[in-house]
Amino acid sequence: MTTSSSDNFFAGLKSIVDSAFPKTCPMCGKTYNNEDAFINETTKLNNQTGLKQSYDDDDHTIVELYRNCSCGSTLMNFFGDRRDTSEAGEKRRAKIGELIEYLITQGLEQDLARTELLKAIRGEKSEVLKKIKLPKN
């Protein structure tokens, strides 16, 4: 996985405990100073994402991320969701939901509508959205 695709794939994760870093491999001693280094300097497990949903002591959803150190040892860290749960974040998600529904009425499948809308939000080009008349506001 390249750095840019790793960045996109894991963009919604954040380390739950700041004290998780630096993380040191117990087998070879390599140190990962932060979550970016942990994700970008390790490799995925045998064609798997290495993600496993779990729950913390308060029954909140967490993600366990398993990665291989360059020595081959498997390392794990706990992550949470970066989702903005504020009122403003909820409004943004509602607006995105409305736009996805509109794109579906214009003939797009839901997954494609979401993917293309997220591209536009990130400032990437969307050939699909260029062909659709988007609503104002």
- Convert the pLDDT of each residue in 17-63 to its tens digit: 455 789 999 999 999 998 888 888 999 888 777 888 887 777 767 78
Supply the mean pLDDT for the chain: 78
Strand, coil or helix: 18: helix
The residue-averaged pLDDT of 87-109 equals: 84
Taking each helix axis from N to C end, the angle separating 110-121 and 87-105, rounded to the nearest 10 degrees, works out to: 130
The predicted pLDDT at position 81 comes to 57
For residues 1 and 120, which has the higher predicted lDDT (pLDDT)?
120
% of the chain with per-residue pLDDT over 70:
75
Q: Is the peptide bond before 22 cis (omega within 30 degrees of 0)?
A: yes
The predicted pLDDT at position 36 comes to 83
The predicted pLDDT at position 85 comes to 61
DSSP-H helix ranges across the chain: 3-9, 35-40, 87-105, 110-121, 127-130
Strand, coil or helix: 77: strand
% of the chain with per-residue pLDDT over 90:
20
Q: How confident is the model at residue 3 (pLDDT cuts 50, 70, 90)?
A: very low
The residue-averaged pLDDT of 67-94 equals: 79
Give the pTM: 0.49
Closest CA to 50 of 77, 11, 27: 77
